[in-house]
Amino acid sequence: MFDRSIKIAPSILAADFANFGAECRAIEAQGADWVHVDVMDGHFVPNLTFGPAMCAALRPHIRGVMDVHLMIAPVDPYLEAFAKAGADVISAHVEAGPHIHRTLQAIRALGKKAGIAINPGTPVEAVAELLDMVDMVCVMTVNPGFGGQSFIESQLPKIARLRAMIGDRPVHIEIDGGITVTTAPWAAKSGADVLVAGSAVFKGGSADNPAPYGANIRAIRAAAEAALG
């Protein structure tokens, strides 16, 4: 069921890479709504993370939504592998190739929720013709590739424009990059409902000491919900 309540999606890019299974179990136990998995290819973005085998290995450790953010080009040859790995939402970048429409069709044909991600330099109007074929638009508020960067405030009017463009379609707005207790309210007020947060969720904790994860998630959620009044 679709709803616009605030959802916190910790990015495991900020987790302990030697301990991903336990980290996923810990953030869910501490109140995470979705688990955000950042896939990078060293080509579309200047960093490398992991691929479908890692997603498949994580799947048994995630009870809720596995939200896979593909920062790869080309993307189409790998969609089936990520679907088989158990992704619930698969997002591809509009900048990753000339045929995003075909990519989104392919994701839905695989029975998955389709997301479209846009970089900070891309106008939100780039998704205008795609809103009836997606379940989510992900607005990047940092240049993709690395965690721990600063939120790019110039993206806020884009989020508000996107919210108006979406109207009453059941399409989530996800914000990815630089979300903290300070920036989460801005994103929520502009119309976002899924807040990805890496460093701001994982700071101060570990799988063996997960209480800080819960405190961080609750603080981000409370700040975002307060902004909605």
Give the footprint of ligand DX5 on this chain (CB under 6 A). Answer: 11, 13-14, 36, 38, 69, 142, 144-145, 147-149, 176-179, 196-200
Buried/exposed 39-73: b ≥16 CB within 10 Å, e otherwise: bbbeebbeeebbbbebbeebeebbeebbbbbbbbe
Of the candidates 33, 67, 176, 193, which one interacts with Zn ion according to CB under 5 A? 176
Asked whether position 38 contacts Zn ion by CB under 5 A, the answer is yes
Could you tell which of Zn ion, ligand DX5, none binds residue 100, using a CB distance below 5 to 8 A set by kind?
Answer: none
Q: Tell me how far apart the alpha carbons of residues 81 and 154 are, in angstroms, rounded to a whole number.
A: 35
- CB-facing half-sphere around the CA of 17: CA atoms within 13 A: 5
With CB atoms as reference, the residue minimizing the distance to ligand DX5 is: 198
At its nearest, how many Å lie between ligand DX5 and the CB of residue 45? 6
Q: Which of the following is catalytic: 38, 41, 67, 193? A: 38
- Pick one of Zn ion, ligand DX5, none as the site partner of residue 175 (Cβ within 5 to 8 A by kind): none
Residue 177: contacted member of ligand DX5, Zn ion, none (CB under 5 to 8 Å, by partner type):
ligand DX5
Residue 65, helix vs strand vs coil: strand
Rounded to a whole number of angstroms, the minimum distance from the CB of residue 228 to ligand DX5 is: 21
The listed partner (ligand DX5, Zn ion, none) that binds 147, CB under 5 to 8 Å by sort, is ligand DX5
Asked if 67 touches Zn ion (CB under 5 A), the answer is no
Q: What 3 state SS string does 195-217 have?
A: EEECHHHHCCCCCCCCHHHHHHH
DSSP 73-95: SS-GGGHHHHHHTT-SEEEEEGG
Q: Catalytic site residue 41?
A: no
Annotated active-site residue 33? The verdict is: no
What distances in angstroms separate CA 12 from CA 133, 152, 154, 186, 201, one per listed residue?
27, 21, 26, 23, 10
Closer to ligand DX5 by CB, 133 or 146: give it. 146
| Catalytic (active-site) positions | 38, 176
